[in-house]
Amino acid sequence: MTAETLRIGSRGSELALWQARWVEAQLRRAHPGLAVALEIIRTTGDRILDAPLSAIGDKGLFTKEIETALLERRVDLAVHSLKDLPTGLPAGLALGAVCEREDVRDAFLPHPRNPVRTLAAQPHGAAVATGSLRRKCQLLALRPDLRIVDIRGNLNTRMRKLEESDWAGMMLAAAGVKRLGWEKSIGEIVEPDVILPAVGQGALGIEIRVDDARTRALVAPLHHGPTAAAAYAERAFLRVLEGGCQVPIGTWARIVTDGGRPVLRLDGAVGSLDGTRVVRGSAAGDPGEAEELGAALAHRVLADGAAAILAAIRSAV
């Protein structure tokens, strides 16, 4: 690898490659003449597809092998869906940039032969597929009658499984569906006040080595301050709760204007696996204190009952 070539590490799914190539295009636009190469790295999460994420753990499932390549200097940066990136990064690595967020919401994709397009209008006992305990919890809180089906695989695989099934539909992050140009498959976009998104959902994180000043400078133009503030608050919320794919945790931060000044608003929720208990909370504060805001809200929901929910889940696991 020459010093002039910037190497990007990415998973090999169609969505991951779309994201990596988008970052590559932004880098070339910001730095004309920059030589950029893409290296595909298969992760543990890509190899194990026959078990729910909650059953195999979630610490670095989709990032560990890419981070190893970073630390071994085989690549210079990694492009992640930020919701896949654990809140605790390995020593020597850091978030170099957080890119502007796409749609933060979840989407309901009905079966191609299902004429009922919205989630609320599905018949009693309808089967809805998702690979997320966060979605499962909130779906059951809304509709205890639903039959939740676990689904794994990349978006192409999930779409094929839906087409071959008798399910009413499935839930996916709207951002990924839109990035692949599948908007026509969406029956309904579900608002965050109905189902809270995952931490970092819709945003891309660029991971780099702490000591790599050149790469840090190259990715700096891709950093989006408002998205980063929201992501830092959400990740701090998750970090205090010590959650992940094994725990139903949803959160959404965004910057709004209040009295002419920017305010960071954060909503968060922790729920039981069956959706019968959900503890919610909200907070607002200075965008410059995003991590403090996220941590404070996490401590509040813990005191309001989330601690008991988490203890029960971990005891069961």
Please give the positions annotated as active site: 84
SS3 285: strand
Q: Annotate 145-179 with b (16+ C-beta within 10 A) or e (fewer).
A: ebebbebbebbeebbebbeeeebbbbbbbbbbbbb
Q: How far is CA 252 from the centre of its chain?
A: 11
85 neighbors 207 (Cβ within 8 angstroms): yes
Residue type, 4: E
304 neighbors 279 (Cβ within 8 angstroms): yes
| Residue 121: Cβ within 10 Å count | 13
Token pair belonging to 70: 């970073």
Query: Tokens 């790469």 label which residue?
Result: 215
| Residue 114: Cβ within 10 Å count | 17
Which residue from 95, 308, 51 is spatially nearest to 212, judged by alpha carbons?
Answer: 95
Question: Rounded CA gap, 209 and 196, in Å?
Answer: 32
Interior CA angle at 237 toward 227 and 259, to 5°?
55
271 neighbors 138 (Cβ within 8 angstroms): yes
Residue type, 162: L
101 neighbors 234 (Cβ within 8 angstroms): no
96 neighbors 216 (Cβ within 8 angstroms): yes
